[in-house]
Amino acid sequence: MNQRSQEQVPEQMGFRALADPTRRQILQLLAQDSLTIAEVAENFQMTRAAVKKHLTILDEGNLISVHAEGRARLNRLNPEGLRQVFDWFGFFDTFWDNRLAALKFEIEKDIQ
């Protein structure tokens, strides 16, 4: 196994975080406002410990950040982490645009 496959690459951690529908819902909540674990938990029928686990995975995926504000620890959406995932998809968006443009060219060439 090479070193890269042994380590979790940033995109991999982001995709792991996005794979769960509950975490995607948490991201939508955090897109509206920074929230404590308790405030996030109010929106779900699960324990604070379960919510904390989801928030930890989102943090590991660089999709949120946690900041201390007084005694509270606020969870915030990290737009830069989302951009990394978006950019990864952007590569394949460009890939398919190029492939489809080439296919269109070949079809139009055959028609003429």
Of all residues in the chain, the percent with pLDDT exceeding 70 is: 90
Helix, strand, coil shares of the chain, percent, nearest 5, are: 70, 10, 20
User: What is the pLDDT at residue 7?
Assistant: 56
Task: Check: CB of residue 102 under 8 Å from CB of residue 94.
Answer: no
pTM over 0.85: no
Task: Check: CB of residue 38 under 8 Å from CB of residue 73.
Answer: no
User: What is the pLDDT at residue 5?
Assistant: 43
User: What is the pLDDT at residue 35?
Assistant: 97
* CA–CA distance, 33 with 105 (Å, rounded to integer): 47
Low-confidence stretches of the chain (pLDDT < 70) are: 1-11
In angstroms, how far is the first alpha carbon of the chain from the final one? 51
